[in-house]
Chain A
């Protein structure tokens, strides 16, 4: 339990705890994520000790930091979670799915609390219901732990940490708060006894219990209160007997109210056997300063004096120590604004252009005469490439960051729909540009939701069809050529051709039986098309797939569907690796130069006579190793003026894109080069057939 009363004292110690906040928030975030991951993975019927311990440690770690840095609401919630988890890891309680639920929800609440403390603002998070449920589990009352609103009186929702109210107060089962009352320093310790009398006299005030055995070494008397009264009422009451400034009320922090440390008498280094200072030394333990019991007793008993001494010394040492220790604060990550990274990438682009220009101009240089210049340029070429790769990788983040949100979402969704679903993720390490990652999350969420809602059948239905009760949704990311492919697969009921066609006709869409399967599947991308027989609140009301497709198209991507009725379906999202710089193959057509993305170039060859055949009057195809593919004549497509009528295009470049191959007819291959791509649509206007422009010598 937290005792935040030292918030102000810490300033006195010359140390500003807020300097550690950001580390704490980062660490707490990591712990929360890990806890969620572990909770989702846990098998309640056979929970692994190590897993339970690991979950416990996450809560424990957050609690320790929160209490230390003064985030009382976080400390209170984690404390309750820790209590429950401790019982679980000690096998005093058996884990249940309901417990996992409440722990997951607590994790969410913690996230919100932490976000609030980080300045996100908003109302204090009301965790009273969660706390009540956890406590019910702890005392083995599963019924009361059910997520019913206000099952037990619970503490008021947390208030800002700095406030006077105690929001992390332990509470008895009947809803009374347990507080620690410290009186003093008092001139006469007996004054405190009148406070005890108060509790005897006033019925319903609660109970009071001296925890220091009536002894007051330091002039402070300590009590444990159990009361239903508010702080201000209590303070008013006590004010009759003791001066207001001599009264300290704070949350009860454990059986032993103590300064928080102790020595084991006789332990090595133990100063004395100090009963009760909240720390302790063991007698005869190594290092316990036991030998000087008498000598040390005096200063240590006088807490105020000792405490006053510490800040002075530490403040003096602070200035010199600060520089060194700040440097030693290891930073595993640094946060920089995205604009800075983008600026870096832009500059990188300019550098690539300059380098390409130098490379081009230096071709005419005699390599023998200017050997060192040429080798320098070669090194520049290599270094530029490496640098570019490194710079681009800054913006790349693993798909894991997107995938990690799905286990939780799917779990909640499945339980809401009464389905059993397992999520399998593949290729989490596949990296994608940060900008794309942010934009792909929503469409992917929609697809996964669809799979769970419309794809996966209910357990009963699955059993009836001879499928495993638990459905599987697979999220897979991989690189394929110049694009990244993210697949959402499920082993659910798949799409029904008949149903889709019927639906399409009902909506007045042109849907003849002659449509290929692929064309039928694509019908679900039509606006307002929903195949769900019952519209659920999960997958929306028919707005969806068309939006998904539109969003993905906006990213320059495509969506493909495969489906086998009764066996499941697969939606593949294909995205370009948005690289502002790409490797291109420049090809010449008459006087003009075009650049093909190198990643989509499969091969190139000179066309033999008669190998290009004309079919159906207009289309031309070429046979490449038993495969016919359409021929695209760039001269024709772009209507390139040709002045030299003797010359004809006779080189074919086979390119692959979106699962298909075509052969592009060009005059000559000019070479490979890196190009900085500027989007034409944003900078000029959309030009059919051309995705971007670059500048070249």
Chain B
């Protein structure tokens, strides 16, 4: 079973994402912000990190940068969920080492569709 680290400060989004992923057969670890995700990521293997961008303490881009700096997450796909679909945002994500982005709002089917592209 593939495992996914889902990071979002909004409980409703987190639950929706988590439920969707679990329904599609993935194992999900939830984190409430970048800092929490960073702590939960330690020593564990994840096939994908799915993170919101705008969060307190540590945002999605900050988390991406941190994860990329760690050998364990050097090649892990990281997707940033964002309501800001501006190029600026995407470029910041790219610079931080993100694998891609997904614009919020998205529907569950779309989420699975995108994830299937990165987790094989």
Q: Which residues of A contact B (CB under 8 A)?
A: 2-3, 6, 9-10, 12-15, 17, 19-20, 23-24, 26-27, 54, 56-57, 60-61, 63-65, 67-69, 75, 253-256, 258-264, 267-271, 278-282, 285-289, 296, 300, 303, 306-307, 310-311, 313-315, 317-318, 321-322, 324-325, 328-329
Contact = CB atoms under 8 A, between A and B. Distances in A.
A282 B98 contact: yes
Contact of B99 (A63, A254, A288, A307): A288
Contact of A269 (B9, B52, B75): B75
A270 B75 CA distance: 10
Interface residues of B, number: 57
Given A256-B85, A310-B116, A282 B99 contact: yes
A63 B83 contact: yes
A13 B10 contact: no
Contacts of B83: 60, 63-64, 67
A260 B117 contact: no
B77 interface: yes
Interface in B21-46: 22-25, 28, 30
Nearest to B117: A271
Contact of A328 (B18, B97, B106, B120): B18
Given A261-B102, A281-B99, A306-B113, A287 B75 contact: yes
7 contacts: A2-B105, A10-B109, A23-B15, A271-B117, A285-B100, A289-B117, A310-B109
Contacts of A268: 74-78, 97, 99
Given A264-B100, A287-B48, A310 B117 contact: no
A268 B72 CA distance: 13
Interface in B48-102: 48, 52, 54-56, 68, 73-79, 83, 85-87, 90, 93-94, 97-102
Given A6-B107, A260-B102, 6 more contacts: A24-B12, A57-B9, A261-B110, A267-B100, A268-B75, A287-B118
Residue among A2, A256, A314, A318 having the largest count of chain B Cβ atoms under 10 Å: A314
Given A64-B10, A328-B18, A329-B15, A264 B86 contact: no
- Give the interface SS of chain B, mostly helix, strand, loop or mixed: mixed
Given A20-B15, A264-B100, A9 B77 contact: no
B20 A15 contact: yes
Contacts of B117: 263, 271, 281, 289, 296, 300
Contacts of A307: 109-110, 113
A74 to B, nearest CB: 12
A24 B118 CA distance: 29
B87 to A, nearest CB: 8
A634 B5 CA distance: 72
A296 B100 CA distance: 15
A314 B112 CA distance: 8
A288 B113 contact: no
Residue among A13, A75, A260, A303 having the largest count of chain B Cβ atoms under 10 Å: A260
Contacts of B77: 268-270, 286-289
The 6 A-B residue pairs with the shortest CB-CB distance in the complex, in nearest-first order: A269-B77, A287-B77, A13-B109, A6-B107, A263-B100, A281-B100
A332 to B, nearest CB: 9
A264 B23 CA distance: 27
Contacts of A12: 109
Given A261-B110, A286-B97, A325-B19, A281 B10 contact: no
A296 B119 CA distance: 12
A11 B105 CA distance: 15
